[in-house]
Amino acid sequence: MIVCASIACAQDATTEQKRLNRESFEFIWSTIRDQYWDPTFGGLNWTAVHDELRPAIERASTTGQARQVMRQMINRLGKSHFGIIPADVYGDLDEHDEAAGTATAGLDVRVLDGKAIVTSVDEGSSAARQDVHAGWEILRIDDAPVTPALHRIAELDGNSTMRELHLARSVLAKLSGAAGTVVRVEFLDSAGQRVTKEIERSEPPGALARFGYLPPMHVWFRSRRLGSDIGYIAFNLFLDPARLMPEFGDALKSCAACPGVIIDLRGNPGGLGIMALGMAGWFIDKPDQRLGTMHTRQAPLKFTVNPRLPTYTGRVAFLVDGCSASTSEIFAGGLKDLGRGRVFGTRTAGAALPSAIDRLPNGDGFQHALADYVSESGRPLEGVGVIPDVEVKLTREALLAGRDPVIDTAIEWIRKQR
């Protein structure tokens, strides 16, 4: 179905589709005009942007071209959380999940020193059954070399805080596809040998969660002990609160006597911002403590934490990396600012604007930021990210040795207090 949808995008749009594309262009422009938090648009002449691009949307003969024009318009703002979600993503996911291409190769990947490195392998996945290990380098995916694309993205992103996120996503996107299909991956293994694996894609772990017009996504939550006394919590998205919030609370309550807990937000791109407030409540025992402030055009909204009982009083270590974004940044950055958490890892993605998703007249989704966000320290997170208290980088060598230096450093900090 994806292939068909892609072909449709390249075909000439009908008169009706063209009209809907023009309406979508106007919807996006006027929504930003009316709702963008800064009425001066940071000095950008928003009316001039409209007038400049309107002829291009009139000329667009395919929906794909129309999307490009719309993306060009929103990219002028230079902010995260503005984007177009093609209509076929909804159609495919709603009607036939497997065909939507959400299945994965069971690998998590980061680009370290310009190389695509496997950082974890899902238990029970085809990759795990074929003994693929963390630390292996991905050289080729379906016979296409990985490195040239990484170089292009790195060059394009320059010093952007979102570079690590874009690099990892570019590799993960190539590994993703329809469930049951096979992706051919050439690795450099721990012995420095080139090995090729035919990996069958499968649905990612976790339960499928939906929220509004966000595409349905798999959400997982894991908690365990590191050694006998340190709690470890990880989850891949801030979604599905009816399930995740109680699990988070239960994990903390079961670890009430632990000297510390590690919350691993590496690779977590965010989700519902208010979940950060709910989770932060377990670590705060005083009222009126804020993670930050969201500035809408109409009024500021303080991200005030609601204290929960029983308060967890041990040390809190957040693990982050360049793929930690949005709500992850609000959560870790806010508790860092309140002196209630210490952050380990590498700088986050700096993409922390609260946003919503509307459906456009042409069926596409339109994600748009509703507000600016400033962490409690007074620093914006957008374009800056959360700077770790202790910078620790993953390395291929450590991963091959079965170690995670970021977790190790956090454990050492927690144990020091004893």
The token duo for 273 is 């911002």
Question: Could you tell me how many residues make up the chain?
Answer: 418
Q: Is 281 in the site for another protein (CB under 8 A)?
A: yes
Smallest separation, CB 303 to another protein (Å): 7
The token duo for 209 is 């969660």
Smallest separation, CB 247 to another protein (Å): 12
**242 exposure class (CB count in 10 Å sphere: 0-12, 13-18, 19+):** exposed
Smallest separation, CB 324 to another protein (Å): 21
Among the listed residues 91, 169, 211, 390, the single contact to another protein using CB under 8 A: 211
CA dist., res. 180 & res. 126, Å (int): 10
Q: Is 209 in the site for another protein (CB under 8 A)?
A: yes
Selection from 319, 279, 282 nearest residue 411 by Cα: 319
CA dist., res. 214 & res. 217, Å (int): 8
Q: Is 275 in the site for another protein (CB under 8 A)?
A: yes
Question: Is the CB of residue 349 less than 8 Å from the CB of residue 168?
Answer: no
CA dist., res. 277 & res. 334, Å (int): 9
Smallest separation, CB 333 to another protein (Å): 18
Closer residue to another protein, CB minimum distance, 239 or 319: 239
DSSP-derived 3-state class of residue 188: strand
Q: Please give the residues from 294 up to 353 whose contact with another protein meets the rule CB under 8 A.
A: 296-304, 306, 308-309
Smallest separation, CB 35 to another protein (Å): 4
Q: Is 207 in the site for another protein (CB under 8 A)?
A: no
272 — phi, psi (to 5°)? -80, 115
CA dist., res. 195 & res. 50, Å (int): 52
Which sign does the torsion angle of CA 343, 345, 348, 352 carry? negative
Smallest separation, CB 356 to another protein (Å): 6
Smallest separation, CB 220 to another protein (Å): 16
Terminal-residue alpha carbon distance, the chain: 57
The residue range among 127-135, 153-161, 172-180, 290-298 that interacts with another protein, by the rule CB under 8 A, is 290-298
Q: Is 212 in the site for another protein (CB under 8 A)?
A: yes
DSSP assignment of 372-397 equals EEEETTS-B-TTT-PPPSEE----HH
Q: Where are the alpha helices (DSSP H) in 287-374?
A: 327-337
Q: Is 277 in the site for another protein (CB under 8 A)?
A: yes
Smallest separation, CB 265 to another protein (Å): 18
Closer residue to another protein, CB minimum distance, 114 or 212: 212
Q: Is 399 in the site for another protein (CB under 8 A)?
A: no
Interface mask (CB under 8 A) for another protein, residues 226-265, using x and -?
Answer: -------------xxxx--xx--x----------------
Q: Which residues bind another protein (CB under 8 A)?
A: 34-35, 209-213, 239-242, 245-246, 249, 272, 274-275, 277-278, 281, 288, 296-304, 306, 308-309, 356-359, 370
